[in-house]
Amino acid sequence: MPHAPEAPTTPNLASDLAIEVEKKKIHTHLAQRVEAMRKSRELLFTEALQLPSIETRGIEEQIGENE
């Protein structure tokens, strides 16, 4: 006759719950890090797009001062 699985005992239930809580914390932390990296890349990309125009304006101002 097959052996029926035992019902979880209170210590196992508490341990399993603690593990699940830790997994959720880790998952939440990872999701926050991924979102922060996405925003950081977006900000850096936006800033990088503005650099050529800033440098061009600076050069134009320097040329104007030399004339």
Using one digit for the tens of pLDDT, what is the confidence trace for 4-49?
A: 666 556 779 999 999 999 999 999 999 999 999 999 999 988 888 8
> 8 in a domain, yes or no?
no
Q: Is residue 3 part of a domain?
A: no
Helix (H, G, I), strand (E, B) or coil at 54: helix
Flag whether 28 is in a domain.
yes
Task: State the residue range of the domain holding 55.
Answer: 14-66
Per-residue pLDDT at 7:
58
55 in a structural domain: yes
Examine residue 7 and state whether it is found in any structural domain, yes or no: no
In the chain, the number of structural domains is 1
**How far is the C-alpha of 61 from the C-alpha of 43, rounded, in Å?**
27
- Say if 49 falls within a structural domain: yes
CA angle 49, 54, 56 (to 5 degrees): 105
What's the CA gap between 12 and 6, in Å, rounded?
11
